[in-house]
Amino acid sequence: MALKDVLIDELRDMYSAENQLVKALPKLAKGAEAAELKSLFTSHLEETKGQVARLKQVFEILGEKPTGEHCKGMEGVIAEGAESLEKDEEGASFDAGIVGAALRTEHYEIAGYTAAISMATTLQMGDIVGLLEENLKEELEAANKVQAAGKTIFGEAAAEPEEEADGEAGVRAKGPKATQKKTGARKSAKGGKAA
């Protein structure tokens, strides 16, 4: 397989990944409790739409269609993020799980764009490199913003009371009954299933 074909496969994978994120980011924004996270996911959704548009430009330059690959890696990372939205944690501890999922997502994209840029550079495709570098820059900035928000959220989560098995009010509970109560409360508070 020629390097150009490998690059096209990588780009199709990234196109699929970005389109999956366009659908997933509103769920993360809705599910997050911290206003900073909600805002971050909402603004990154707009960036992600721009990244999809740049990838379409790349495919136009290549004379190829962007479709044909399904990014299973991103599908898995998004599934993990959906699981974070269904945890029975509350407050900062709940958002801490979302921060972890968001960072995994960003680093997956950073790795994909870094590989694609290296391939396009080797193939001396400067116009494509420029478009991909714009996407990479936004992903790096998004990862830094999530990490910065995470520092505050992790600090707040560390200050929260330890879990107790009896489910006292104001204390995060652990166990099947507590999970059912909290999951039910979270669903009703959010108007249905979290993700």
The string of pLDDT tens digits covering residues 98-117 is 999 999 999 999 999 999 99
Amino acid identity at 179: T
pLDDT tens-digit readout, 7-53: 999 999 999 999 999 999 999 999 999 999 999 999 999 999 999 99
Q: From CA 27, how far away is CA 99, in angstroms rounded?
A: 14
Burial of 78 (0-12, 13-18, 19+ CB in 10 A): buried
- Considering only 41-45, 67-71, 81-85, which range has the smallest mean pLDDT? 81-85
Nearest to 75 by CA among 148, 155, 16, 152: 16
Give me the domains of the chain, ranges plus CATH numbers. Answer: 3-159 (1.20.1260.10), 162-190 (no CATH)
Q: How confident is the model at residue 185 (pLDDT cuts 50, 70, 90)?
A: very low
Q: How confident is the model at residue 1 (pLDDT cuts 50, 70, 90)?
A: confident
pLDDT tens-digit readout, 118-167: 999 999 999 999 999 999 999 999 999 999 999 999 999 898 877 655 55
Flag whether pLDDT at 168 surpasses 70: no
> Is residue 121 within 8 Å of residue 132, measured between CB atoms?
no
DSSP state string for 39-52: HHHHHHHHHHHHHH
3-state secondary structure the chain: CCHHHHHHHHHHHHHHHHHHHHHHHHHHHHHCCCHHHHHHHHHHHHHHHHHHHHHHHHHHHHCCCCCCCCCHHHHHHHHHHHHHHCCCCCHHHHHHHHHHHHHHHHHHHHHHHHHHHHHHHHCCCHHHHHHHHHHHHHHHHHHHHHHHHHHHHHHHHHHCCCCECCCCCCCCECCHHHHHHHHHHHHHHHCCCCC
Flag whether pLDDT at 188 surpasses 60: no
Give the pLDDT score at 186. 43
Read off the pTM: 0.80
Flag whether pLDDT at 88 surpasses 50: yes
What percent of the chain is predicted at pLDDT more than 90? 71
Q: Which residues, listed in sequence order, are joined to residue 173 by a DSSP beta bridge?
A: 164
Amino acid identity at 160: E
> Is residue 109 within 8 Å of residue 94, measured between CB atoms?
no
